[in-house]
Amino acid sequence: MCKTFRQYNMTTRISGCLTAFFLLFPFFSSIAQNDDITALSPKDYLNLRLPSLEVLFENAKNSAAVEFYQVKMEEEASILKTEQRSWLKYFKVVSSYQWGLMGINTSFSDTNTPLFYQYSGARQNWYNVGVTVAVPFDDLFDRKNRIGRQQLKTKATQVEMEKWHDEQKLRIIEMYTKAVKELAVLKLKVESLSFANAQFDLAQQDFMNGNIQAGELSQIKRIQMDALESYEQTRAELNKSLLQLEVLAKTNILNR
């Protein structure tokens, strides 16, 4: 009968202690001021708000993969322009220009005329401009096909980028729903751990006052340890989901 009374008395005192606990949050530490996720307190998780999926989807476009596809599309577009202008290679413009002096030395003599020399010269310039056309028929008739193939390559790169983004959305949704679930479970684990801590504090006081035995205190301590272990497991899973979500969506979540 006496033992029953002590349990009832301890339960009443626990309820009163928990009311004060949830009002004042004596168990929670201050919100972490650094980037170390190990410094996040239970209160930090209770105040955590996840961005919307639309924001995460949009931020995911800042990924290096999207930048890679954009650069690849620019490269394909440049090759397409080159192919569309390839008809210019059928035409060639030729020209030449010469300038100089032309001189002629002549000599003459016969039996009645002594040998004499004569020189004549003149300035001259000469130029030539022309256009040549050479059209390989196989290249000409295949030009349309080459342009079409290059356009398909550009489109394929665009489709590949959109496919990657859709797959990234699925990965973000998977991590997002997992994080939401773990966050909800963690909030319950925080309450359970708070109750276990309060119960153990009261049990310590009762043990010091001689109201309970060491075995009862040890049992309450095991309950506290189980609650802490369960909390830490859920916390680790939540941190894992949030960190993966940050990488996938290129969005800062834990330290906003």
Report if residue 51 sits inside a domain: yes
Report if residue 96 sits inside a domain: no
Q: Is the pLDDT of residue 2 over 50?
A: no
**What one-character-per-residue DSSP string does 102-122 give?**
EEEEEEE--SSS--EEEEEEE
Burial class (CB in 10 A: 0-12, 13-18, 19+), 92: exposed
**71 sits in which H/E element:** helix 64-84
Q: Is the pLDDT of residue 11 over 70?
A: no
Report if residue 127 sits inside a domain: no
Q: What is the pLDDT of residue 118?
A: 66
Strand partners, 134: none
Residue 208, phi-psi category: left (phi > 0), alpha (psi -120 to 50), beta (remainder)? alpha
Report if residue 27 sits inside a domain: yes
Residue 98, C-beta contacts closer than 8 angstroms, at least 6 positions apart: 124, 125, 126, 127
Q: What is the pLDDT of residue 247?
A: 93
Report if residue 135 sits inside a domain: no
Q: Which domain holds residue 204?
A: 2-75+146-249
Q: What is the pLDDT of residue 164?
A: 95
Distance, in Å, from the CA atom of 53 to the CA atom of 55, rounded to the nearest integer, reads 5
> How many domains does the structure of the chain reveal?
1
Residue 101: count other Cβ atoms within 10 Å of its Cβ: 8
Report if residue 81 sits inside a domain: no
**Tens-place pLDDT, residues 119-168:** 666 677 767 778 788 878 888 888 889 899 999 999 999 999 999 999 99
Q: What is the pLDDT of residue 108?
A: 64
Q: What is the pLDDT of residue 29?
A: 36
Q: What is the pLDDT of residue 103?
A: 63
What's the mean pLDDT in 164-192? 95
Report if residue 89 sits inside a domain: no
Report if residue 41 sits inside a domain: yes
Mean pLDDT check: name the lowest of 50-54, 85-89, 94-98, 198-202. Answer: 94-98
pTM of the predicted model as reported, rounded to 2 decimal places = 0.65
Structure confidence at residue 256 as a pLDDT band (50, 70, 90): low
Look at 126 and 237; give whichever has higher pLDDT. 237
